[in-house]
Structures are given as structure tokens and as C-alpha cells.
Structure 1
Amino acid sequence: MAAVNTRNPAEGYVRTPHPVQGLPRVVRHITGHDAEGKSVFLSTDIGDHHRELANKSGIANIIYSTCEHPIELTGDIDIQYEKKHEPGISVKNGSVCRMIDFGPGALSPMHRVNSLDYAIIIEGVFRVVLDSGEERIMQRGDIAVQRSTAHQWINVTGNGLLPARILFILLDVKDLEIAGTKVEGHLGTLEKDYAGLPGHGPKDGPNKEKGYGNLFESEF
């Protein structure tokens, strides 16, 4: 197995809420319906939740999140949930659409999330390393389909001198077993970044049957 790079050149880089300096602003447009059933734009903004990650070397912008499937749109229940709850790294029975800005040379720890992730490179160039030692170079427009695998992201844009951006869409999955053994997730140093947020595991609560359980507890 290849050695995992742990030194983060971008530590302490993020100084402003969003976006990372040198990257364009992300604008979110949410649609819905008026009283006559016509399609309309309900809001245009930059998202409700932003969080610094990995010792302030990057920042996450939550585009949207859900906590059930199928999703209840009637009465804008999904919008109310998204606005009120910042998700953990993934949501049981739900989904998370998260844009992460990486500072120059920034890297994530080696980590594994219990989810199916579509990772789309929006800006820059990344080296993605698996715990087997295998790696790939990914650039703008490339997509990784992460199937609960342990991996690390390294921003190598401009030889590590420029910021970069990835769009992540995370979907909940059933427990993964390999050779009869359940594969457990681990976040490494990202664990502290998501402490106190709703975790991946199921929680009890008065609305558990609708997927709106005790969302302020975390398993991490």
C-alpha cells in the first residue's frame, strides 16, 4: 500500500465564508410552483450552509440535502428541511449535494463514506488516491463514482498553487459486505469537521417514519 500524504499545504487558507479566493461565486436557483400550479423560481442565493474543512484548507457549500426517498415536495417540506438542517457528510435514506472548494495544494485525509458518491470536477486538477495505492489524475469534467471506497483527494492544480472545486452528490446505500465482513466508514481528521451534525446512521424520533428523526445527533 502506498504511503498516504498527510501534510496539508493549504492549512489555514480559508479566510472568508464562501467561495475560496480565486474561484467564481456559486449561485443556486430553487424552483417550485405558484398558487395556480405554474412553475416559478422560488429563490436565488448562494446556499444556506457553509463549513470550513480540513484545518481551514477548504470550504463546503451545501447546495441541497434531503432525508427520505421518495422525497416529499408537497407543501415545500423538502425546502423547509434543507434550510433548517445542515447535513453531516451523508444522510440516512437521503442525499447531499455539496460543492467543496479546495485551497492551493489542499488535500483530504484518507477516508471512507458509507454512500454512493458522484464526484464531478468543476474547476482544476486533482489526484485521487485509493487505499490500495492506485490513483488517477482527474480534471474539469471528469467524474468519479465512489462506491464506499477509501480515498483521498489532492488538489494539484497549477502544480498545487491554485484553488480548485469538486461537486459531490452523495446517496445513501445499504451496508456493504466484503468476504462476509461489514465495511465500516471512517473520516479521519474530517471527523471533527462534521461533529454535532446529523450522521449517516438511523435515529429515532417522533417523525421517524417520514425520515425526519432526531437530526441533531451524530454517530461520529
Structure 2
Amino acid sequence: MSPSNQESSKEGIAGLAYPVKRYITGHDLNTGESIYTDAPELCTAEVPGFGIASRSYATLKLPTELADDQDLKAHLSQDSPTSYTRSTEFLVPSSELNTQTGQFELGGANVINLDIDPGAVGHMHRTVSLDISTCVMGEVYHELDSGQKVLLKAGDHIVQRATMHRWINASKTHHARVIAVLLPCAPFKVKGQYVTEEHRFGTGKPHCNSRGRALHTNRHYQEWIWQQLPVDFLEQHQPRT
């Protein structure tokens, strides 16, 4: 069986030269051979002032239930928590306490694609998860709430352990792309307090448990952030063209 998105002729996403393609493998029930399964095109969602987000794949729990294609059926459905249509939901679901057993039940995995607009600046946020985020195109700054920053070039990646961060496209003329794999983590404390999902927008005040808004910002906030960067930082890290 050929993957249904292989011959896609759609124009590039958010002005990019090509759209992201996602292929899913499976097994032929008659021969037992490995095959490519039918996979819908990525369902994209515009994040105003930042770019485009899309969910590549998600699972409800780990280990993943591959038997009888349970994971694939859930991903292809319209109403499952792991549906491919839920492009701005970045956790699936987070760790929760089972009131009957008293044990924490961890959630699943989530793979997301972020196409970041030229010069775009995301807001400071965190999810309670272990994320492996790879820059696959362009260059992006990854900034922590401590003020520390690193520049990721294509091929560089971040192992992010539930830390406050934001993404900044290092170029004001070219798009950038980051692919992130989010994995569940057990609840933990920092300075005696449980770490929770948190979002800080232009005011700097925290907005907690704001599901599906992890990258929303606006053009004015984006311009304001660039104005706040120190002169020596701008001189040393001129936006790439």
C-alpha cells in the first residue's frame, strides 16, 4: 500500500518551499511484510504572530499499543485525544493521579512540527514533559527564563526537562522549522513546589494550565521582544538572512 500523502502537490506551508510530509509504517496482515499505511496530510493550525503548528503523531500512553493498530486507529479518528486534527494540543495527556491506586499514570508521546515565521518570538512557557526538540531548518534561539540562550542551527537539538523557555527565529527573512517529541514525566518538585504547566505572555504574569495555547503570541509582543534585547546581544547575534 502506498502512503496517501506521497504525491501531495499542495504548496508550501507558511511560505516554505515545501510542505512537511509524514509517512507511517505498518504490517500487511496477509504477508506479514512491513508496508507504508495510508496517512492523511498534516492538519495545520496557524498560531498568530508565530507560525504554523501541526501534530505528526501521538499516542495515548507508553508503551504504545500497536496490536490491532490501536494507536493508528486513534490517530486517524476525529474525536480521539490523539487525533491528527488536534494540531495545537501539545500534551497527550499529562501525568494524572489514579485515585483508586494512588499511583501516577503517565500519558503518551506527542510529535509536533513548528514552522516559525521570520523574526517570530514565542512567549515564555513550560509543559510538564521531557522534550527532544530538533532544529531541522533555519536557525532558532532557545531562551530560558534565567536569561540564558543558545542558538540552534539545523541538526542541533535541545533535551528539555520541563523548563521555562521560548523560541525565537534568528532570521527576520527566512522561516525556521523545529520538530519536537514530547514525552511524559513523573510529577516532581522544584524549591518544594510541584512544577506545573505555565505560560507567560507580554505582561510576564504566569498563565497556568492554558492547554493548546503554548505558542500563541502577537506581532506587537514580537516587536517588543526584539526591542528589549541588549545592544551587545544584537551586535553579536545579528538575525540570519
Could you state the TM-score of these two structures normalised by the residue count of structure 2? Answer: 0.67
Name which of 65, 77, 88 aligns with 1:72: 65
Higher RCO, 1 vs 2 (CA within 8 Å, ≥6 residues apart): 1
Q: Which residue of 2 aligns with 1:132?
A: 146
Deviation at 1:18, TM superposition (A): 6.1
The one-character-per-residue Cα deviations of 1:164-210 (angstroms, maximum 9, x if unpaired) are 10000000111121132111211345987816xxxxxxxxxxxxxxx
Deviation at 1:24, TM superposition (A): 2.1
Deviation at 1:17, TM superposition (A): 9.3
RMSD between aligned alpha carbons? 2.3
Alignment of 1:55-70 (within 5 A): 55-70=48-63
2:109, 2:12 → 1: CA distance? Answer: 22
With 94-103 and 22-31 compared, the bigger mean Cα shift is at: 22-31
Amino acid of the structure 2 residue aligned with 1:29: Y
Give secondary structure in 2 for the equivalent of 1:43: coil
Could you state the TM-score of these two structures normalised by the residue count of structure 1? Answer: 0.73
1:40, 1:56 → 2: CA distance? Answer: 39
2:75, 2:64 → 1: CA distance? Answer: 12
Q: Is the 8 A contact 1:130 1:151 kept in 2?
A: yes
Structure of greater Rg: 2
The alignment status of 1:40 with 2:54, answered yes or no, reads no
Relative to structure 1, is the Cα distance of residues 171 and 17 closer, same or farther in structure 2, using a 3 angstrom cutoff?
A: farther
Q: Is the 8 A contact 1:18 1:59 kept in 2?
A: no
Q: Could you list the runs of 4 or more consecutive aligned residues of structure 1 that deviate by over 3 angstroms after TM superposition?
A: 188-193
2:154, 2:140 → 1: CA distance? Answer: 9
Q: Is the 8 A contact 1:23 1:163 kept in 2?
A: no
1:152, 1:179 → 2: CA distance? Answer: 22
The one-character-per-residue Cα deviations of 1:25-64 (angstroms, maximum 9, x if unpaired) are 21111111112211111125532x32112x2531112110
Amino acid of the structure 2 residue aligned with 1:175: P
The one-character-per-residue Cα deviations of 1:9-29 (angstroms, maximum 9, x if unpaired) are xxxxxxx99622024221111
Q: Which residue of 1 aligns with 2:173?
A: 161
Q: Is the 8 A contact 1:57 1:103 kept in 2?
A: yes
Deviation at 1:110, TM superposition (A): 0.5
Give secondary structure in 2 for the equivalent of 1:152: strand
Amino acid of the structure 2 residue aligned with 1:130: L
How many residue pairs match? The answer is 176
1:112, 1:97 → 2: CA distance? Answer: 16
Q: Which residue of 2 aligns with 1:30?
A: 24
Q: Which residue of 2 aligns with 1:194?
A: 212
1:164, 1:19 → 2: CA distance? Answer: 12
Q: Which residue of 2 aligns with 1:213?
A: none
Give secondary structure in 2 for the equivalent of 1:168: strand
Give secondary structure in 2 for the equivalent of 1:194: coil
Give secondary structure in 2 for the equivalent of 1:20: helix
